[in-house]
């Protein structure tokens, strides 16, 4: 079945540092890929998505590129802020299906 | 435009009881999905409804059920509650229910079973 693996957390960085959170997936066909963010006490917010190979999703300074050859969708940001502290989830949906399969989540803490 | 709303936000129940959670999707969205979030198992898909029909179901026991109404509002029910059902239950809606479609999540219902 489909699955998503994220880098283990927690991740702690200083403000303005470069961020990478690794995500790899296993899926048949051509899944759609997503990054969601969860702030304390809240539900999930869609951060960005990519629906086909080589697509780059971007939002709020975050970027991720759909790499089919390496089955990866790593999240990057050039300069993180304290307000980026949250839990980040990589996820996919299989072709035609609405069911999201999530990675285990990566807790990110940014220190001023 | 109003987001996805879930009621109640917090709930405390006793083992053996049953519970019903409610989700109102974004206006115009026809697909509603439910997810369970726990520290141990992470985020797991429960089921998805589209136009009042269950289209997909996750790997949960039959104690977990749901339905969708003609106005796209959805409810999920858990019968004979167990301690392990304590979790954050998240509802998500999307316009078309296609895999490429963005899903918008509500704030969740925090269920505690004692």
Q: Which residue of A has its CA nearest to B92?
A: A44
Nearest by CB to residue B98, choosing from A49, A96, A105, is A96
- Does the pLDDT at position A97 exceed 80? no
> For a pLDDT cut of 90, what percent of chain A falls above it?
85
List the one residue out of B110, B12, B60, B61 whose CA is nearest residue A42.
Answer: B110
**pLDDT greater than 90 at residue A79:** yes
Q: Measured between beta carbons, which residues in chain A are less than 8 angstroms from residue B94? A: 98
The residues, ordered by sequence, that sit 6+ positions from B31 with a Cβ below 8 Å of its Cβ are A98, B25, B48, B49, B50, B93, B94, B95, B96, B97, B101
pLDDT mean across residues, chain A: 94
How much of chain B exceeds pLDDT 90, in percent?
90
Share of chain B above pLDDT 70, in %: 99
Residue B82, min C-alpha distance to chain A (Å): 23
Q: How far, in Å, CA of B68 to CA of B95, rounded? A: 15
Select the residue from A34, A52, A89, A98 to test the B interface by mutation, using most B Cβ atoms within 10 A: A98
* CA distances to A47, A108, B47, B94 from B64, in Å: 29, 33, 9, 22
pLDDT digits (tens, 9 = 90+) for B15-71: 999 999 999 999 999 999 999 999 999 999 999 999 999 999 999 999 999 999 999
Give the per-residue pLDDT at B10: 97
């Amino acid at each position: 079945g489909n699955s998503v693996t994220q880098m283990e957390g927690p991740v702690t960085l200083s403000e303005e540092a470069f961020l990478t959170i690794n995500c790899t997936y296993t899926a048949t066909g051509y899944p759609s890929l997503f990054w969601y963010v969860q702030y304390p006490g809240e539900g999930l917010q869609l951060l960005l998505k990519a629906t086909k190979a080589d697509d780059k999703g971007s939002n709020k300074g975050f970027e991720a590129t759909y790499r089919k050859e390496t089955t990866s969708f790593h999240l990057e940001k050039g300069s993180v802020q304290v307000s980026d502290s949250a839990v980040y989830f990589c996820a996919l949906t299989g072709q035609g299906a609405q069911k999201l399969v999530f990675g285990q989540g990566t807790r990110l803490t940014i220190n001023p | 435009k109003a987001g996805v709303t879930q009621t109640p936000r917090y709930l405390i129940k006793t083992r053996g009881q049953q519970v019903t959670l409610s989700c109102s999707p974004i206006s115009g969205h026809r697909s509603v999905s439910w997810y369970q979030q726990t520290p141990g198992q992470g985020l797991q898909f429960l089921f998805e409804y589209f136009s009042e029909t269950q289209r997909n179901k996750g790997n949960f026991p039959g104690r977990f059920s749901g339905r969708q109404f003609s106005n796209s509002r959805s409810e999920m029910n858990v019968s004979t509650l167990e301690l392990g059902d304590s979790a954050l239950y998240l509802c998500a809606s999307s316009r078309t229910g296609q895999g490429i479609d963005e899903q918008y999540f509500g704030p969740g219902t925090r269920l505690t079973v004692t």
